[in-house]
């Protein structure tokens, strides 16, 4: 039975997922399912060994399209070679899990099955998500193949995580989680695989700070740090070296990002100052508290001892201090979360704090601002440029911001 691919171009992005033979193949079901739900056209290739872990029927059901296997590849009933059709069709190729065997083949330019033939017959970006036993991953030959493959700008590699492996060993070699893979896919579809922040140092603050009255009570805000997380992901996917300074959050930093947790504004300022000299781009997306209790009790205060009027004092203005310390080649970006008129106070903040760019975003609009997965904003810079970004995911917002900034980045 032939499985023709549509030849007419449409507006939907096209992602081809190659599944290798490993227990992590079960995670690919979530990736394929979510891609389809977000409007992506998705097709799947399974290697012969992958079918020992997951069936073509499962992935065909999730992708709403027949899955491709080597048995289909060798049938001679296609008007054009299947690997050529697939390679030309894809906007992005994802290999997850990528085994040591497939890695070795790609590093050597081998093509002995449908997946490796399709890689060689395509020109689109390729995202690699390896998964294997720790000893296998750390073998000199495997690491040599990995590093060699990544010298080709087409290939984008996700790091492996540490944890409990299928062999019951705890160590490095776990495949990235589906949400991380999906975020990287979204980034590559936006950038077309371009690494326009390659070699740049990006310093980001994220989340809210907590200013404690006693060990259990604090002044804070609803910030979750999701915008800062998206900024870190987007910068990483564009080739940057990323340092993420964050308050208390309920998420893990992306693989490959240097994450530094802090609690209060003073701690955040000290870390931001420490990493500022080496940064090319500084994005202050954290929702820093404005004030803190004047007095701190190291023991929990009884309810009857709580003051009826709480003496407060200001916390350090981190953004203003960074603006005073930054060098001409650095770009400093601030955020202004506002209700009502968002432009006037944002412009005032841009000028008063001597920023390069400010992101004015409304927190009184549906599905926008604190805690939301989406955002909307107006970008303003010190050259008078502005750009309105309609509601979108926070990762898309992060990419739009970098697009805006990079055009003036030396």
* Contacting residues for 358 by C-beta, under 8 A, at least 6 apart: 333, 334, 335, 336, 346, 347, 349, 350, 379, 380, 381
| Alpha-carbon distances, residue 243 vs 87, 240, 323 (angstroms) | 36, 10, 18
- The whole-angstrom separation of Cα 261 and Cα 243 is 11
Catalytic residue among 29, 124, 167, 392: 167
> Could you tell me which of 250, 208, 242 has the C-alpha nearest to residue 335?
208
Handedness of CA 49, 50, 51, 54 (dihedral sign): positive
> Strand 386-393 and strand 374-381: pairing?
antiparallel
What percent of the residues of the chain are helix, what percent strand, and what percent coil, each to the nearest 5?
Answer: 35, 25, 40
Task: Please list, in sequence order, all residues whose beta carbon lies within 8 angstroms of the beta carbon of residue 334, skipping any fewer than 6 positions away.
Answer: 284, 319, 349, 350, 353, 355, 357, 358, 359
Tokens of 122: 């395509």
399 to 199, 300, 353: CA distances (angstroms): 17, 44, 24
Give the H/E segment covering residue 46. Answer: strand 41-46
> Residue 98 region, left (φ>0) first, then alpha (ψ -120 to 50), else beta?
beta
Provide the strand spans (E) within 91-168.
92-98, 126-130, 155-157, 161-164
Q: How far apart are CA 158 and CA 94, in angstroms?
A: 11
Q: Is 392 a catalytic residue?
A: no
CA angle (276 as vertex; 225, 207 as ends), nearest 5: 10
Active site members:
167
């Amino acid at each position: 039975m032939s499985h023709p691919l549509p030849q007419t171009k449409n507006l939907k992005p096209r992602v081809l997922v190659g599944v290798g033979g490993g227990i992590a193949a079960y995670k690919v079901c979530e990736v394929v399912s979510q891609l389809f739900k977000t409007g992506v056209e998705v097709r799947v290739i399974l290697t012969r060994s992958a079918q020992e872990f997951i069936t073509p029927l499962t992935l065909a059901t999730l992708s709403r399209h027949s899955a491709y296997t080597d048995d289909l590849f060798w049938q001679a009933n296609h008007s054009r070679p299947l690997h050529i059709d697939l390679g030309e069709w894809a906007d992005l190729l994802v290999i997850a899990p990528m085994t040591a065997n497939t890695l070795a083949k790609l590093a050597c330019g081998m093509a002995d099955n449908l997946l490796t033939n399709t890689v060689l017959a395509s020109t689109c970006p390729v995202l690699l998500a390896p998964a294997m036993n720790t000893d296998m991953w750390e073998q000199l030959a495997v690491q040599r193949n990995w590093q060699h493959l990544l010298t080709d700008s087409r290939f984008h590699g996700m790091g492996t995580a540490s944890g409990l492996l299928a062999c019951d060993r705890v160590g490095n070699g776990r495949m990235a989680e589906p949400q991380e893979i999906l975020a990287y896919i979204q980034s590559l579809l936006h950038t077309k695989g371009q690494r326009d922040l390659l070699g740049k140092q990006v310093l980001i603050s994220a989340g809210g700070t907590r200013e404690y009255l006693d060990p259990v009570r604090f002044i804070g805000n609803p910030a979750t740090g999701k915008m800062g997380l998206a900024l870190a992901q987007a910068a990483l996917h564009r080739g940057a070296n990323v340092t993420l300074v964050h308050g208390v959050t309920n998420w893990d930093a992306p693989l490959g990002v240097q994450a530094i947790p802090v609690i209060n504004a003073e701690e955040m300022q000290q870390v931001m100052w420490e990493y500022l000299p080496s940064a090319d781009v500084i994005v202050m997306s954290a929702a820093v508290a404005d004030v803190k209790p004047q007095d701190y009790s190291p023991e929990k205060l009884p309810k009857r001892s709580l003051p009826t009027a709480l003496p407060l004092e200001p916390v350090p203005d981190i953004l203003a201090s960074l603006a005073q310390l930054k060098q001409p080649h650095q770009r400093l970006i601030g955020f202004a979360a506002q209700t009502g008129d968002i432009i006037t106070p944002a412009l005032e903040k841009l000028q008063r704090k001597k920023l390069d760019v400010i992101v004015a975003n409304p927190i009184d609009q549906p599905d926008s601002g604190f805690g939301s997965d989406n955002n909307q904003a107006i970008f303003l810079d010190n050259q008078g440029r502005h750009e309105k970004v309609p509601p979108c995911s926070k990762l898309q917002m992060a990419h739009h911001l970098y697009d805006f900034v990079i055009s003036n980045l030396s």
